[in-house]
Chain A
Amino acid sequence: MYGGLHVPLPLPSESALLDLGREFTPRVEARGPTPVLLDLHGLGRVWPTPQALGQAIVDEARLRQLEAQVALAWSRATALVLARGRPGLTVVPAGRESESLAPLPIALLELDVAQLELFARWGLRTIGDLARLPASGLAERLGPDGPRLRRLARGEDDGLFVPARAPAAFEMTLELDWPVDGLEPLSFLLARVLEPLCAGLVALGLVDRSTHRRVLKPAAPSAEPRTWRTLVLLDLEAHPPRDAIQAITVRAEPTPSRPVQFSLLDPALPSPERLAETMARLHSWTAAGRGGAALLLDTHRPGAFAIGTFAPGPVVPKATEAEGAPRVALRAFRPPLPADVAVRGGAPAFVAAAGIRGAVAAHAGPWRASGDWWDVAWSREEWDVALAASGSGSGLSVYRIFRDRLREAWFVEGELD
Chain B
Amino acid sequence: MRSTTKSALEDLLRERRLAADAPPLRGEDRRLRPLITGIAPIDALLYGGFPRGQLSEVFGPSSSGRTGLVQALLARSTHGGALAAFVDPADRLDPASAAAAGVDLARLLWLRGPSRYPGPKVLAEAVSAVGTLAASGLFEAVVLDLVGVPEVERRRLPGATWIRLQRVVEDTSTALVLLADGHVASGPGGLSLALAATGPRWSGPPGPGRLLSGLGAQGAAGRHSLRRADFLLRTLA
Do B63 and A398 touch (CB < 8 A)?
Answer: yes
A278's partner among B65, B102, B133, B200 (CB-CB below 8 A) is B133
Q: Which residues of A contact B62 (CB under 8 A)?
A: 389, 392, 395, 397, 415, 417
With beta carbons under 8 angstroms apart, the residue of A296, A313, A315 that contacts B105 is A296
Choose, from B4-12, B44-52, B161-169, the stretch at the interface: B4-12
Flag if A290 contacts B111 (CB, 8 Å): yes
Q: Is A384 an interface residue (CB 8 A)?
A: yes
The answer to whether A293 touches B138, judged by C-beta atoms less than 8 angstroms apart, is no
Most buried by B among A267, A303, A384: A267
- Which residue of B8, B67, B108, B202 contacts A417 across the interface (Cβ within 8 Å)? B67
In the complex, whether A123 has a CB less than 8 A from a CB of chain B is no
SS class, residues of chain B in contact with chain A: mixed
**Given contacts A271-B138, A305-B96, A312-B83, is CB(A285)–CB(B129) below 8 Å?**
yes
State which residues 340-398 of A face B: CB under 8 Å. 362-364, 384, 386, 389, 392-393, 395-398
> Does B189 interact with chain A (Cβ within 8 Å)?
no
Of the residues A268, A270, A296, A321, contact of B96 by C-beta under 8 Å: A296
- The answer to whether B116 and A303 have CB atoms under 8 Å apart is no
When the two chains form their complex, are residues B200 and A386 in contact, meaning their CB atoms are under 8 A apart?
Answer: yes
Let me know if B63 and A416 touch, CB within 8 A.
Answer: yes
* Residues on A with beta carbons closer than 8 Å to the beta carbon of B61: 392-393, 395, 397
In the bound complex, how far is the Cα of B142 from the Cα of A282, in angstroms?
Answer: 14
**Which residue of A is nearest B109, CB measured?**
A310
Q: Do the beta carbons of A327 and B101 come within 8 Å of each other? A: yes
Chain A residues whose CB sits within 8 angstroms of the CB of B215 once the complex forms = 328, 398, 416-417
**Are B138 and A274 touching (Cβ within 8 A)?**
yes
Whether, in the assembled complex, A205 has its beta carbon less than 8 Å from a beta carbon of chain B, the answer is: no
Chain B, range 177-235, C-beta contacts under 8 Å to A: 196-200, 202-203, 206, 210-212, 214-215, 231, 233-235
**When each residue 28-68 of chain B gets 1 if its CB lies under 8 Å from chain A and 0 otherwise, what string results?**
00000000011110000000000000000000011111111
Bound CA–CA A295/B209 (angstroms): 31
Residues of A contacting B38 with CB < 8 Å? 322-324, 326
> Would B136 and A305 count as touching, CB distance under 8 A?
no
For the complex, is B154 an interface residue (Cβ under 8 Å from A)? no
Say whether B69 contacts A290, CB under 8 Å. Answer: no
Assess whether A322 is in contact with B102, with CB atoms less than 8 Å apart: yes
* Chain B: CB-nearest residue to A315: B81
Give which listed residue, A285, A333, A389, contacts B111 with CB less than 8 A.
Answer: A285
Within 8 Å CB of A414, what residues of B?
A: 92, 94
Q: Which 6 A-B pairs have the closest CB atoms?
A: A395-B197, A315-B81, A294-B95, A329-B67, A322-B79, A397-B62
Q: Which residues of B contact A (CB under 8 A)?
A: 5, 8-9, 12, 15-16, 37-40, 61-72, 75-76, 79-83, 91-102, 105-114, 116, 125, 129, 132-133, 136-138, 140, 147, 196-200, 202-203, 206, 210-212, 214-215, 231, 233-236
Q: A264-B9, A270-B83, A417-B63 are in contact. List 18 more A-B contacts (CB 8 A).
A: A265-B8, A265-B12, A267-B15, A278-B132, A278-B138, A282-B133, A292-B109, A292-B110, A312-B83, A312-B107, A326-B101, A327-B68, A329-B67, A329-B233, A362-B202, A392-B197, A393-B61, A416-B235
User: What are some 8 contacts across the A-B interface (CB < 8 A)?
Assistant: A267-B80, A268-B16, A282-B129, A321-B79, A325-B234, A329-B233, A334-B116, A364-B202
